[in-house]
Structure 1
């Protein structure tokens, strides 16, 4: 008969979207159900963040493989300490609580593409002698809050272009375009105003498109992907006519944010405004678009209206040459991320011990409350753990199966209660406390004035996001 009935992992959510960011605390519980008394070498929970890219390219009869790896952090906590002797765990349901703090610093958001991915996950591993390890994994949604020059991205963008017509037409065309800003949260609307002076003999059609560009990098080589998120076609402008065209394009609520802080994967967005002219090169103006997390958008209210336009819609009548998209209503409005939390210190409770049915091994302390410090954290950025208001439930009824709650053991400076059983976990050494997490600080604004009317092209991504020095990858 197998000894392990089940091994499950749950993680506490910090917000409605169940996302995490730099400096946040990962807390949760591991539930181990045993059908009989079982010797265990160790029980660990691990959190890590990794980026990987891989693709192949054929050249004649040869196939070249390009791959790269980047590790951002790896944290490990022992729930059952690893010792020279095995720990005998009795039959029943055992609940172990954990807490791991994501390090501060700039790390990219979660991403999954055709040739690469950025994944953050939790892993629980149960090790027994002469047995295969039992593992449970759970991905977590990570949203970066590292966006330098955010203040400057809230300023409007201005671009201008002029084209002399060629062989099949006479005259010239001039276009001035203004975009309200550069940074948008999912659900926000781009407001575009284009002033067009068609002093030529040809008719032209204004078009607007937002494109996502993904770049994978490995072994000094790159692989590109491009996807059109939305495209709008306006009515034609006849010869010798001036017209002001207004367009509104809403960023889809599910659109992933810009990734600019990863060495091997980048995700960028671009707005292109151009005039479609038959038998001529189309004059165009491109603007960088930065998609940021909802709670970084200024003036964003939790559960507030996203604008008068449904997802994927454009203002005014649209003659799009793309097939229409089905409009779906999101029943869960976007709410701001709770952000990283800072706690002034651990608290101790003097509440009476709860009564557990058929459970003589229960530790003192109210259920669902974390101890002052996590147990046996190895390499980990420790910090005091928040006190959760609601207790953890049990997957099995206490009347049918015994249940044991295993909070992390207390620090050696606090003697265990006299009633504690001899099977209590051994004392441990606290790891040094992590430095306090500072709120996101942004780089100063660039000196270049992007707001003045000029014939120069709008700023490139290299100006908005200066390339950082490539960090050495850490082996997996």
Structure 2
């Protein structure tokens, strides 16, 4: 195996509880091979070792383990094929569990750490394993600052330096067609009346890869054509009418992923809260060009 590694999106090494760990598995083989199984996992490991009467003891315990199968024998053969000396790349996403975790720790007597691990099984029984460490920190807010030249739903032309409050859940969203106009779509979701009464913007995040080491992220506000709200008891059904958007093409860069967030800006406040969207259907419908990873 000439190359078998993990690249985390934007080179991140630190995450918060409820965050999404994403990246790519990169494989390059010295000969033609066929993948039988490719599994990515994130796990927290606590290890301790000690001596007693000249005997060495050790104990290892996993306090969480999240796995996802990327390729198996049921996948299409063209997806499983590794061509000689041709890089093969597979994108992945995993959610950090909702829990309280100890910080990373290293000493002569043991360690506590978090790893992203990829296990590759090839036809014929050969197995390869690679890992990459990361950190989980316990924070409720992170600072951010970026600008955007587009206009938002609330006619704001740029972001200001602010406190970005990260939620630990994803909001299920539905993409609905607009009758008589194929250039726009409706994004519908349910939220609490208190959340929906404030100004809401739709944020598009695009991750690009420059090379095997460098990744950059572009944020932009999608200009909404209108907002509709319908209250019903404890929840409010909200629809954002947005145009389908052309993905910007960056020369010599490869598209990794496209994600969407709701940004709530309370009136008379500089604090923004962010809510990642999960889709009942893929977000590709929001993009004029088909998205291929």
Compute the TM-score of the two structures, normalised by the length of structure 2. Answer: 0.48
| Higher strand fraction (1 or 2) | 2
Give the TM-score normalised by the residue count of structure 1. Answer: 0.31
